[in-house]
Chains A and B, each alone.
Chain A
Amino acid sequence: MDPHLALQLIIQGILLGGIYGLIALGLSLIFGVMGVINFAHGQMMVMAMYVSYWLFILLSLDPYLSLVGAAAAVFVLGYLIQATVVNRILDYPEAMQVLPLVAMGLILENMALLFWGPDHRSPQTALSLQTLWVGPVMIDVSRLIAFVLAIAITILIFIFLKKTNIGKCIRAAADNRTGAILVGIDVDRIYNTSFALGAATTGAAGVLLLPLMPLSPHMGHDFTLTAFIVVILGGMGNLIGALVGGLILGLAESVATLFLPATLKQVVSFSLLVVIMLFRPQGLFGGKK
């Protein structure tokens, strides 16, 4: 086996895994706080990508500069979805919670189709073709930036949850909803904020992906699934788990190319999922219930 090729694949896998982790972080946060699985997750990410795309086309604003703006837009979207839809379904059986969120995903996807059409859009940004070379091994600059920012955002979310007042309220509401209500936390508002925060992180991840892959209305679904696998891998509701799960999945998918045809990529990720479910159903970092 070619050692350069293996090294190349490992680096690419880890870098992409960081972004997977960030996408999954939002999903895990939402699940951890409210016990709801956001099936519109990937579609929300795509919305942020379109916002960023628009800012790039209309104002020539590089995606890295519009990151905050696009994430903020999806923050608002997430806040509204939680306030209007998700808060009403929290006490429903799980199977019934799935449907409104799947529906929300379809609505977002078709809105994107309506507004932007079905084309694959992939404008060339300033850094989208930049590379660094370490000997014969190539490091894709936009992938590296995405990885670094993804890790940075993850750390920021941690600090936010540990140190700030709202963060503490979120953790309180996640731990014990009734208790949180009793000590005077406006749990509905905290839920809105948590969902919005989860949406914003996935939005940020989407923007980081923009220089790397063509944008189309239908790509959201794949990423919902990826995030779902990562979250189960790391442990539902566990934020460290999301990051590590992302890295593992990215690495596994990339390195598997050495041994398996690329058509079996999804087999790799789902096999990983099945193995984890068999031997550690609570996920790698999940505690016992």
Chain B
Amino acid sequence: MSKIRMTDDRMDRRTFLKVTGAAGLGVTVSAWGVPKLLRAEPAPIKIGSVQPATGPLAVIGQGQRRGNQMAVDYINSRGGIQSLGGAKLELLLGDSESKAEVGRSEADRLIQEGAVMLIGAFQSGVSMAIATLAEQRQVPFVMDVAALDDITQKGYQHVFRLFPTVSVFGETGVAYVKQIITEKKVEPQRAVVTNTGDPFGKSQGENFIKWFEKSGLPIEIVDHITYPLGIHDLSAEVAKIKAAKPDLLFPVCRPGDSIILTRELHKQRVPLMGIISPGSPGWYEPKVIQDLDKLVYYVMDNVPWVYPASPVYQEANKLFQEKYGTYLDTNSGYAYAGILVSADALNRAASTKTAALLQALRETDFKDHPMVGKAVQFKENGDNINAATAMVQVLPDPDPNRRVKVVLPKEFAEADYVFPAKQLWERE
């Protein structure tokens, strides 16, 4: 009522009618027995999640959605956002179909439906499109997973990222390779890099080569093979890999092509010391582990990873397993963490206004996440200062859900790594 300010202390006829009308309506509604509407709990705060829920990355996209949704449910079960009167979070769902233009229009739709923050979008290309939109519409965009450096190099004010950038991947990946060949005293001479042709795959592959050549390792990259995302046959590519006679293979994959690649390496008998991914999905997903079985053993992957010893992970993972029957992996873990960080910012901002949210996000210092790495803190450009990768390896274990182990860095390691690995066709 304080908003009704009379210019001359006298209520004019119109205002009088409005006020009495509104009051009357209120009374009527109460009389109808729905007083809840008037004393309603605060309206839910909407967060728009754009993930590749259908299309070639649908497996991961659904996992991302689940990660986002489970964190929302977790926050709500803990009483919502305290500083906003316990307002509940509501996740609005968008589907990028793995296409940048679709991701952008979906994000736009979610903003129109009232999203005060955006989260997503797994692919760098899609994230880039959404970042530009977020900047135009002045809606904070928290990227749970997206690795391309460029996204945060444009001076955008509304864009934040939890995930390590491609540069971080490259630098740490090469360092791990160096550590492995030094510790195991092996001398690989030749290597082949493969990657998918989408922005993530390309930049991940090219960037790895860049850091690799900078490192002065005495290994020659003899071939670099790029193939389209969603490819159905890799026999020709593997024939080329074999002809290049590599000792090491550095593949950047996705769940579909990693299976074709590994089986084809087996069929064509390509001898390798090891398969070390510069950092990509396709090696640690439960379906991949199950379908490839022994063939995926000893594959190493330089990825941001969950920290199984942390209580946050254990709690989230338990819920995730109960609900979806699979474990919380890197990607869904980051999807989960992304919502926790967003909720933390909302809580400290005590507002859903963009300016306050941006301020709160910039001041983020969030420790209680389920990943390997220190507290989430954002740099000026929006990147997470403490984003890190671990080297994981698929190791034999009767329980397929426990086969992926952190092996490097040593302080987070759950097991010792095996290198060089037995050839694919020699495994019993």
Contacts A4-B243, A120-B255, A262-B226; is A213 near B232 (CB within 8 Å)? yes
Chain B CB within 8 A of A179 CB? no
Residues of chain A at interface, number, CB under 8 A: 40
Chain B CB within 8 A of A60 CB? no
Contact A9 B259 (CB under 8 A): no
A119-B53 Cα distance, complex, nearest whole Å: 11
Contact A124 B197 (CB under 8 A): no
CB proximity of A27 to chain B, nearest CB, Å: 17
A156-B404 Cα distance, complex, nearest whole Å: 48
Contact B228 A121 (CB under 8 A): no
Contact A213 B59 (CB under 8 A): no
Chain A CB within 8 A of B225 CB? yes
A131-B263 Cα distance, complex, nearest whole Å: 11
Contact with B along A14-58 (1 / 0, CB 8 A): 001000000000000000000000000000000000000000000
Contact B291 A218 (CB under 8 A): no
Can you list 12 pairs linking A and B with CB atoms under 8 Å apart?
A9-B239, A12-B235, A12-B239, A118-B59, A143-B235, A213-B232, A214-B291, A218-B56, A218-B230, A257-B240, A262-B236, A265-B227
Chain B CB within 8 A of A128 CB? yes
Task: Pick the contact of A121: B232, B236, B287 (CB < 8 A).
Answer: B287
Task: Pick the contact of B239: A5, A119, A266 (CB < 8 A).
Answer: A5
What are the 5 A-B residue pairs with the smallest beta carbon separation, nearest first? A118-B58, A262-B227, A257-B236, A263-B197, A5-B243
Chain A CB within 8 A of B269 CB? yes
Task: Pick the contact of A123: B62, B268, B291 (CB < 8 A).
Answer: B291
Chain A CB within 8 A of B267 CB? yes
A217-B57 Cα distance, complex, nearest whole Å: 11
Chain B CB within 8 A of A13 CB? yes
CB proximity of A224 to chain B, nearest CB, Å: 13
> Which residues of chain B in 258-289 are interfacial with respect to chain A, using CB atoms and an 8 Å cutoff?
259-260, 263, 266-269, 287-288
The residue of chain B having its C-beta at the shortest distance from the C-beta of A16 within the complex is B233
A8-B228 Cα distance, complex, nearest whole Å: 21
**Given the complex, which residues of A lie within 8 Å of B235, measured CB to CB?**
12, 16, 140, 143, 254
Query: For the complex, would chain B's binding face be called helix, strand, loop or mixed by DSSP majority?
Result: helix
CB proximity of B57 to chain A, nearest CB, Å: 9
Contact B58 A214 (CB under 8 A): no
**Given the complex, which residues of B lie within 8 Å of A212, measured CB to CB?**
233
Chain A CB within 8 A of B175 CB? no
**Given the complex, which residues of B lie within 8 Å of A218, measured CB to CB?**
54-56, 58, 230
**Given the complex, which residues of A lie within 8 Å of B222, measured CB to CB?**
none
**Given the complex, which residues of A lie within 8 Å of B55, measured CB to CB?**
218
Contacts A122-B291, A262-B226, A262-B231; is A9 near B236 (CB within 8 Å)? yes
> Which residues of chain A in 156-207 are interfacial with respect to chain B, using CB atoms and an 8 Å cutoff?
none
**Given the complex, which residues of A lie within 8 Å of B269, measured CB to CB?**
131, 138
Contact B259 A120 (CB under 8 A): yes
A266-B260 Cα distance, complex, nearest whole Å: 18
**Given the complex, which residues of B lie within 8 Å of A266, measured CB to CB?**
228
Chain A CB within 8 A of B256 CB? yes
CB proximity of A119 to chain B, nearest CB, Å: 5
Contact B59 A120 (CB under 8 A): yes
Contact with B along A104-145 (1 / 0, CB 8 A): 000000000100011111111000110100000010100100
**Given the complex, which residues of B lie within 8 Å of A262, measured CB to CB?**
197, 225-228, 231, 236-237
**Given the complex, which residues of B lie within 8 Å of A4, measured CB to CB?**
243
Chain A CB within 8 A of B61 CB? yes
Contact A124 B291 (CB under 8 A): yes
Contacts A13-B236, A218-B54, A222-B230; is A129 near B59 (CB within 8 Å)? no
